């Protein structure tokens, strides 16, 4: 699979958070690209996680990234050429319940990863994943761009803004010499796709309600989010990684990877589309909510489109269809179709002659 200039074939790649939703899909793709993949992460919280179901053969380290000495030993053992940092406390509502864990993981955990990279001579490139929620949300009807103000109301969003500032500091203070790695950060939209079982996320909660034959309680039916399939954001991360590995210093900055404007839909619109795909989808509205959540969020990916040649492959309808197909295959037939869907995604991108397919 000679994609992304065949840059990952035979490369030593380290993924933090490889047992998570995004991390497991990224590990799958990198293995298919011929990379020598290692991972450092906590064990999955949920039984039959996507990571467990994939049964990938890689160098698997179970370690909390907040322990710097242990993390440093792993880096020195693996000697990665590129690091994809995805490990995080990723949930808004959980950040209200466990703010110290959120801050320590998302700030000090990232600091430890960057410092381990700094002290490991083999590292040439770092792609650190933050969030589209790192922006100071003013409820604007237009998209946030990479140079807009950072901020956050809840601990999760604020910690991701802090992670961006941390990355910027490391880039300016340490990674500004030819002997140090290139560092980019990536902010993607609300990803959906098969294999996500995180609590307090719409699709995983909905799938659990289907398994239990229950109706799902919805808090904010009119909240608008930039929905996209998980493979869309990962194609952006891999494309950035390619640019950094070939020494493109201009790419060592912040990047948005979000859907086209048509992908910005309300929760209600998403649920309606899901119900058309699978009639077992059932929900009810409860407007009582203890925590603040943004009602409108949209990121502008014009920079990635114009400077990287990145563009989405699957539109909103296709992303929903593929997500439903994955869960139905697993729930109804006990089948794992992640590889099949990855190949479908690549085939569609190839037909569209998107840059990273090497057309």
Q: Dihedral of the CA atoms 252, 168, 132, 216 (nearest 10)?
A: 120
3-state secondary structure of 353: coil
Question: Following DSSP, what letter does each residue of 20-47 receive, concatenated?
Answer: SHHHHHHHHHHHHTT-EEEEEEPPPSST
What tens digit of pLDDT does each residue of 244-275 get?
A: 999 999 999 999 999 888 878 888 898 898 88
Q: Is residue 183 part of a domain?
A: yes
Cα 167 to chain centroid, rounded:
17
pLDDT band at 289 (very low <50, low <70, confident <90, very high): low
Mean pLDDT in residue range 98-117: 97
Q: Is residue 105 part of a domain?
A: yes
Neighbouring C-beta atoms of residue 284, cutoff 10 Å: 10
What tens digit of pLDDT does each residue of 295-352 get?
A: 677 889 999 999 999 999 999 999 999 999 999 999 999 999 999 999 999 999 999 9
Helix (H) or strand (E) holding 224: strand 224-229
d(CA 77, CA 251): 28
pLDDT of residue 359: 53
pLDDT of residue 20: 95
Q: Is residue 78 part of a domain?
A: yes
232 closest CA partner among 110, 92, 91, 356: 356
pLDDT of residue 297: 78
Cα 139 to chain centroid, rounded:
23
pLDDT band at 288 (very low <50, low <70, confident <90, very high): low
Q: Domain tally for the chain?
A: 1
Q: Is residue 178 part of a domain?
A: yes
CA distances from 191 to 25, 85, 304, 349 (A): 12, 17, 17, 18
pTM given for the model: 0.94
Q: Is residue 1 part of a domain?
A: no
Copy the structure tokens of residue 224.
């608008």
Q: Is residue 141 part of a domain?
A: yes
d(CA 295, CA 162): 22
pLDDT of residue 292: 57
Q: Is residue 3 part of a domain?
A: no
Q: Is residue 257 part of a domain?
A: yes
d(CA 272, CA 262): 15
CA distances from 149 to 153, 259, 302 (A): 13, 21, 17
Contacts 24+ apart (CB under 8 A), 276-281: 277/320, 277/321, 277/324, 278/210, 278/324, 278/328, 280/210, 281/206, 281/210
CATH number at residue 290: 3.40.50.720
Copy the structure tokens of residue 78.
């693996």
pLDDT of residue 162: 97
Whole domain around residue 57: which residue ranges?
A: 9-357
């Amino acid at each position: 699979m000679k994609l992304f200039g065949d840059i990952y074939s035979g490369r030593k790649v380290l993924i933090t958070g490889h047992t998570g939703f995004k991390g497991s899909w990224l590990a799958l793709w990198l293995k298919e690209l011929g990379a020598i993949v290692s991972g450092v992460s906590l064990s999955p919280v949920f039984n039959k996680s996507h990571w467990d179901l994939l049964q990938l053969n890689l160098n698997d380290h179970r370690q909390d990234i907040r322990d710097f000495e242990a993390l440093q030993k792993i880096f020195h053992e693996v000697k990665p050429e590129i690091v994809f940092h995805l490990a995080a406390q990723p949930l808004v509502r959980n950040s209200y319940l466990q703010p110290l864990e959120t801050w320590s993981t998302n700030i000090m955990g990232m600091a430890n990863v960057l410092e381990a990279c700094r002290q490991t001579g083999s590292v040439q490139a770092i792609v650190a994943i933050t969030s589209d929620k790192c922006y100071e949300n003013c409820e604007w009807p237009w998209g946030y761009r990479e140079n807009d103000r950072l901020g956050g109301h809840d601990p999760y969003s604020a910690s991701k803004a802090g992670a961006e500032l941390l990355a910027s500091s490391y880039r300016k203070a340490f990674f500004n010499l030819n002997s140090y790695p290139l560092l980019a950060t990536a902010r993607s939209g609300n990803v959906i796709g098969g294999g996500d079982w995180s609590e307090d996320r719409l699709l995983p909660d909905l799938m659990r309600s289907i398994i239990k034959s229950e109706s799902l309680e919805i808090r904010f039916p009119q909240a608008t989010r930039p929905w996209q399939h998980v493979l869309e954001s990962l194609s952006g991360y891999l494309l950035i990684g390619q640019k950094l590995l070939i020494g493109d210093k201009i790419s060592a900055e912040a990047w948005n990877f979000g859907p086209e404007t048509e992908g910005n839909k309300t929760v209600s619109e998403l649920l309606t589309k899901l119900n058309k795909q699978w009639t077992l989808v059932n929900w009810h509205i409860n407007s009582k909510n203890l925590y603040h959540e943004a009602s409108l969020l949209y990121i502008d990916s014009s920079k990635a489109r114009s400077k990287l040649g990145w563009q989405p492959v699957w539109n909103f309808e296709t992303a929903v269809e593929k997500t439903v197909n994955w869960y139905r295959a697993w729930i109804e037939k006990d089948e794992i179709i992640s590889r099949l869907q990855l190949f479908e995604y690549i085939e569609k991108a190839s037909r569209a002659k998107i840059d990273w397919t090497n057309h």
